[in-house]
Chain A
């Protein structure tokens, strides 16, 4: 195929500028002196210092924990409690939003990956009556607008709360909601991984004397593992990025970063929000590059 022509360069260059303009402007304005946003008035790193201040105090508090003593005396539980107490101690709204986002993403991803992997495996391997219908229904979270999903869950939680007193809005309801929309994404990735596998490989395992369990643990699972990891990555990112579902299913004290950004922006853009966003963008860039490098297929050596 021929090289891109000059007009194609021009158009594509413009489109890249268009896609990156908002990212760049957030980064630039995170260094703006003006406290309440508005035009550029001067350069400062003040906002980053403010943001990272809790990190300094955490680091200094973590330093004084007597790790060796605890490990020697096998008081691992005490050690764990001490560390988590330092990490989870409320410091400022941004810090606790970050902690909440992390807890939410990790907890939901772990559960959703387990459930979604089982679903993907089950749907691609076993038959049951109504399977076609159910596999379609399972993909509804993928296709309906998140606002519809969000209000459905909100009203469900409200209903159950009225009847049973369960599901006070907060971290738990948010985790449940995230798992619900993560499951099908994990299942899709795992299923497509399984679909790409030669069925003869598992037949060969059985043929060579492996029982169903042995086949699963020694052959199927190792082969679907890349799909499981990719699914988990996807689920994790979806959770980190989610605003709409979290916004409707959260409660007092369980603010996440996207919710924090949204409510701050509604009041007016400030440089410290830009600084926070810049750090999030940085994390996305590192994450994207990391995954891209990981997915690069290993070159076969020799032959």
Chain B
């Protein structure tokens, strides 16, 4: 594959508000045509990063390149990017058609072309019927579509989306996630998508950057990020995780044997030089077995404290001595799944599922 110029390149970006670093030396490179998500809780700096890329905020330090061009001195209205705002920010005095045509009119595109392109985009996001309405007469989902149409009609090289589905109810959000993804694949535009919803990020993104306190904590493809979180923060923010403090007992060629609060465990993979670290294991990797099946490595006796039945799967809260553990299992058996509150059981923590964290 030929080396492409990245759509967005950010180097050592700093943005300070008073004493608070909204962006603390952030560097990231976003590929052309990629669906890239910035994931983190509110106040982590993800929206600030998006605004800096869009030209709605100026970084104090650092470089932003859009399509290889230094964008620092380019004002917002000349950047080849468009934003879908969290509040939609539709122009209340213009109709849906007027809103969508706005960008093209400002660039003095010829009238027939504007008409043609607006119509095409309205068909694409299925709002042709609403063309003559004012924003006040639209539902949340409709506004969202208009905001999207208004941005993509300009055929930007990058589309910035700031929690675009945040204000919608769950069902509509799921529908629009799929539509948005299909649209992105069809248009081939680079999407930079800000969200605090980890599931949304996992469903939609090619790559995700998890942000925390103005820094990118970890970045990677959705699957890699989920399967291999590097820090406690990422492991618990993206999905949930059991965390165990571990002390190295013995190093082996394939890994190590460690002592934890639940007993001795064998761990695979590269082991850091430190003797103490944190182990993480996803609840769905924790295999719950009958009390008799205690033979073999990494098996621990537990007590079932809570059983949460949610239809397709069941979540268990367990206790190994004082250490709480959670486990999740698909309800593959027909009928009762076999574990009740207060019952003794055994869990198997497969060595491959035990992750060594950096912090």
A in complex with B: yes
CA of A26 to CA of B86, assembled, Å: 57
Q: Which of B76, B92, B133, B154 sits near A206, CB closer than 8 Å?
A: B76
B contact residues, range: 20 to 34
Known: A200-B85, A207-B77. A300 touches B136 (CB 8 A): yes
* B91–A206 touching, CB < 8 Å: no
Question: Does A302 make an interface contact (CB < 8 A)?
Answer: yes
Of A198, A204, A214, A215, most B-chain CB atoms within 10 Å: A204
* A209–B89 touching, CB < 8 Å: no
* B102–A198 touching, CB < 8 Å: no
* A223–B92 touching, CB < 8 Å: yes
Residue of B nearest to A209 (CB): B106
CA of A201 to CA of B83, assembled, Å: 11
* B133–A203 touching, CB < 8 Å: no
CA of A223 to CA of B137, assembled, Å: 17
For residue B151, which residues in chain A have a CB less than 8 angstroms away from its CB? Answer: 208
Residue of B nearest to A221 (CB): B93
Known: A208-B150, A209-B154, A300-B136. A198 touches B56 (CB 8 A): no
CA of A203 to CA of B89, assembled, Å: 8
CA of A300 to CA of B85, assembled, Å: 23
Question: Does B82 make an interface contact (CB < 8 A)?
Answer: yes
CA of A215 to CA of B55, assembled, Å: 15
* A208–B139 touching, CB < 8 Å: no
CA of A215 to CA of B85, assembled, Å: 17
Q: Which of A204, A219, A302 sits near B85, CB closer than 8 Å?
A: A204
Known: A204-B85, A302-B133. A223 touches B106 (CB 8 A): no
* B89–A201 touching, CB < 8 Å: yes
Known: A302-B137, A303-B137, A303-B139. A204 touches B77 (CB 8 A): no
Question: Does B188 make an interface contact (CB < 8 A)?
Answer: no
A298 to chain B, nearest CB (A): 9
For residue A303, which residues in chain B have a CB less than 8 angstroms away from its CB? Answer: 137, 139
CB-defined A-B contacts under 8 Å, sample of 30: A198-B87, A200-B85, A200-B89, A201-B89, A201-B90, A203-B56, A203-B83, A204-B85, A204-B89, A206-B56, A206-B77, A207-B54, A207-B77, A207-B81, A207-B82, A208-B82, A208-B154, A209-B78, A209-B107, A209-B154, A210-B106, A211-B77, A214-B106, A218-B102, A218-B106, A223-B91, A223-B92, A302-B137, A303-B137, A303-B139
Interface residues of B (CB under 8 A from A): 54-56, 75-78, 81-83, 85-87, 89-93, 102-103, 106-107, 133, 136-137, 139, 150-151, 154
Starting from the known contacts A204-B83, A206-B56, 7 additional A-B residue pairs (CB-CB under 8 Å) come to: A204-B89, A204-B150, A207-B54, A208-B77, A208-B103, A211-B106, A223-B93
Q: Shortest 7 CB-CB distances between A and B: which pairs? A: A208-B103, A200-B89, A204-B89, A206-B76, A210-B106, A209-B106, A200-B85
Interface residues of A (CB under 8 A from B): 198, 200-201, 203-211, 214-215, 218-219, 222-223, 300-303
